[in-house]
A = this chain, B = another copy of it.
Amino acid sequence: MKKKLKLFKPVKKTRVYEEIVAKIKDMIDKGRFKSGDQLPVERELAEVFRVSRSSVREAIRSLESQGLLESRQGNGTYIAKHPVESLVNPLASVICSEKDGQRELFEMRRLIEPQLAWLAAERATDEEIQVMEKTLALQEREITRGGSGTEIDRNFHYLLAGAARNRFLLHIVDNNMSLFLESRDNFLQVEGRPEKSIQRHRELLDAIKARDPEGAAAAMREHLIDIENSLFEMMGRKSRVQ
């Protein structure tokens, strides 16, 4: 008898902070708060929900981590403006340290990034293109000075992904950006490659400016092939890329 009852696990009790998370999410879903809106302050939320401020804070930590909220000390807590930017991908680096991880990463990149370039060529505003132009000029200057231009590369990639007007794709880029930049850094270790990297970006941007999606996608493909080839050289592996 007792044995049988043990098969029915009691329903897991919801924690206070989980309930608060759910309530705040509900408010967002219902349109009560929009991107950029300020949430009531912690002390007020604690009163309204009749819980301790600690529980409110734990809920906020959770939502922050999910990219939904942003807390600013002395200022308040806001619905994230660009939720995508704060979301973290702990898995990706784990996968890349494994045997086939790099193959998988490049397989995904070959799928996603030329498409982003294609969409950007179709959709970028003139203003966006100008910002890309400036960013590329900045990068050229930094590389001339012997720097890697990595931070600027990050910016360039985000600009590109943003211009594509697809938040799902942007999200994928954001989740894996540090891996993208890592393999780029490896690429740059050989002389002449920083310049080549800039050349590829230049080709890419020229195609976007010309509103040539096919040209943009092709430039991105070439760029990825360069990086991938260099990685597999470094790893002493026979490259599988034509």
The interface residues of chain B lying within 8 Å CB-to-CB of A100 are 165
A90 CB within 8 Å of chain B: yes
- Per-residue CB contact flags for chain A residues 73-112 toward chain B (1 = under 8 Å, else 0) read 0000000000110011011111101001100110110011
Q: Looking at the assembled complex, report how far the CB atom of A240 sits from the nearest CB atom of chain B, in whole angstroms.
A: 13
- A interface residue count range (under 10 / 10 to 19 / 20 to 34 / 35 or more): 35 or more
A133 CB within 8 Å of chain B: no
B95/A167 in contact, CB under 8 A: yes
A108/B62 in contact, CB under 8 A: no
- Per-residue CB contact flags for chain A residues 140-180 toward chain B (1 = under 8 Å, else 0) read 00000000000000000000000001111101100010000
Interface of A is mostly: helix
- A90 — nearest CB in chain B belongs to which residue? B66
- A30 — nearest CB in chain B belongs to which residue? B97
Q: Looking at the assembled complex, report how far the CB atom of A52 sits from the nearest CB atom of chain B, in whole angstroms.
A: 11
A111/B112 in contact, CB under 8 A: yes
A61/B17 in contact, CB under 8 A: yes
A90/B68 in contact, CB under 8 A: yes
B93/A29 in contact, CB under 8 A: yes
- Which of A17, A67, A84, A91 has the largest number of chain B CB atoms within 10 A? A91
